[in-house]
Structure 1
Amino acid sequence: MTENATATRDRLATLVEEASEGAIAAAEARAGGVRLSALGLTSLARMRLIDAVESEYGVEIDLGARGFALVDDLDALTAHLEAR
């Protein structure tokens, strides 16, 4: 993973913590290997995360199944943002 991708992943982990109102710690999100929903990301927190990512990175995330799956996986979301 590049230095930029690592920084993006770290920022996304912080956004997960903020969107989940602390229910998922940034360190827990960064640990990887587990879907964010398995860590306790609720549907409301997922929408907050989507809003935060869209605002911060200037992207649009599909609100369908593909977009929801994307924001359930920190590594996939990082790769998506780095590929743009």
Structure 2
Amino acid sequence: MKQDIHPTYGPVAFRDRATGRLFVTRSTLAGRPRGDGADARVDVDGTSYPVIDVDVTSDSHPFWTGTARTLDSEGRVEKFRRRYGAGA
């Protein structure tokens, strides 16, 4: 294999934005600087890890939590009648 072409692979903490729970694992994102220039880190059990915020994890995903997110609470028929009138 070629030397010095592979990204840095190391420990990183992923933080769920919805619940705040941390998941410590290994990733190539560990050696990648953030876009704003800041180096966000978090301490877990006395060890400092770079932290990456994610929107959805198994801790907040509706499939794993058993709660459904309703995006459209209005039914299709009601929406049609409201839009085009009751006689349509």
> Which bracket does the TM-score occupy, shorter chain normalised?
under 0.3
Q: Which structure ranks higher in relative contact order (CA pairs < 8 Å, sequence separation ≥ 6)?
A: 1
Determine which structure has the larger helix proportion and give its number. Answer: 1
Higher Rg: 2
Determine which structure has the larger strand proportion and give its number. Answer: 2
